[in-house]
Chains A and B, each alone.
Chain A
Amino acid sequence: EAQVTQNPRYLITVTGKKLTVTCSQNMNHEYMSWYRQDPGLGLRQIYYSMNVEVTDKGDVPEGYKVSRKEKRNFPLILESPSPNQTSLYFCASSLSTGLGETQYFGPGTRLLVL
């Protein structure tokens, strides 16, 4: 089944404790992206990647890191999480560079930073 998966789905952590949220797609998509969703603010892009070893900052990259060593995986790393990073995170992928292509979203990861 074609899909985007994320793990974990729910995470409670404490300020400063490094964490990684994994994202994987099995559709051979070139474009992958991370969003955070907050009430009243919609979806805001954190980072995106147009292909392996190519990553770019989105609108809210501060406090986050990503890597794209393999086409299928695009992990999101919070080196030192803070309470303002409490949010719902979505990974998404699309076939090519994103414009005009359907973005397929993962199920979301709900993060609480205490």
Chain B
Amino acid sequence: GENVEQHPSTLSVQEGDSAVIKCTYSDSASNYFPWYKQELGKRPQLIIDIRSNVGEKKDQRIAVTLNKTAKHFSLHITETQPEDSAVYFCAASTSNYQLIWGAGTKLIIKP
């Protein structure tokens, strides 16, 4: 079945540095790719998404890039801050109205 692989599972970066999280998907029909952030003890919340007709999307310090040929997409966070510490999930749509989720990346921002 369809699956989404997410790497790394844990990422530790110095405050102010950039962080990159990568996901690959298997379903060539996937056309919607959201990223959710889950702070400790809280619910996941959408931070950015991209559709297959776009290669890159940016929102202040976060950006997502999509390579449909290679079937991978990435989340980029620049100038990381302590409040960026969280678990980040990528997901990819399927043709039957589901989202298939990656296993998550725990991002740690070191002061």
Q: Which residues of A contact B (CB under 8 A)?
A: 31, 35, 40-45, 48, 50, 56, 58-59, 90, 97-100, 102-103, 105-108
Contacts and interface: CB of A to CB of B under 8 A. Distances in A.
Contacts, number: 56
B44 A97 contact: no
A43 B89 contact: yes
Nearest to A105: B43
Nearest to A38: B103
A48 B103 contact: no
A103 B101 contact: no
Nearest to A44: B101
Interface string B37-65: 00000111110010100000000000000
Interface residues of B, number: 25
Contact of B51 (A58, A100, A105, A108): A100
Contacts of A100: 32, 49, 51, 93
Nearest to B94: A99
B4 to A, nearest CB: 8
Q: Please indicate which of the listed interface residues A43, A90, A107 has the most CB atoms of chain B within 10 Å of its own CB.
A: A43
A105 B44 contact: yes
Contacts of B6: 42
Contacts of B101: 35, 42-45
Given A42-B89, A102-B49, 5 more contacts: A31-B97, A35-B101, A40-B9, A43-B89, A103-B34
Contacts of A98: 93, 97-99
Given A42-B89, A43-B89, A48 B43 contact: no
Contacts of B91: 43
A43 B98 contact: no
Contact of A58 (B34, B43, B98): B98
Contacts of B89: 42-43
B43 A103 contact: no
B104 A48 contact: no
